Structure 1
Amino acid sequence: MWWSVARFVAAIVASYVIARVTTKQPKSAQPTAATEDDWNIPVPDEGTPQCVFFGDCWTADWFVLGYGNYRYSAIRK
């Protein structure tokens, strides 16, 4: 019984080592964080009259009036 458990553990360790050796390692360059300028959201110009719909409605002239409150700050380790 203990022999089959030892073979099972050895197989897990061997598969981990093989997977770790054969995968490409990422370059050390850190990815840059997204900023507000990276979002491409269609919004109306200032002063454009806005339609107000109540309930479900389909309109040909769509735009995004509000898209959440995205706050971002640096991730500290």
Structure 2
Amino acid sequence: MRSYGILSEDRKVILAQVYGMCDHITYTLGQKGYPVYKSVAVGTISESLPYLSRRSHENSSLIANSRQERQLLNSELKYRIMG
């Protein structure tokens, strides 16, 4: 954002992600002051099942990325404990 000259105070860009997807990115952007929203599926099982099924298929690669997520969490934990 900075490389494009967009400051968090400008409120020119609003970011949104599906809940549970790359939360570390969403939370970091939120901590930097950018407006970030999370989307959550709401509805009956029959209404939301097709959506959740599609997301599950799209996110099958996330299992492979869970190792990276765990490493990021460990790094953050060490940073917060040791400074």
Smaller-chain TM-score bracket: under 0.3
Higher RCO (CA-CA < 8 Å; seq separation 6+): 1
Larger fraction in helix: 2
Larger fraction in strand: 2
TM-score by length of 1: 0.27
Q: Say which one has the larger Rg.
A: 1
TM-score by length of 2: 0.25
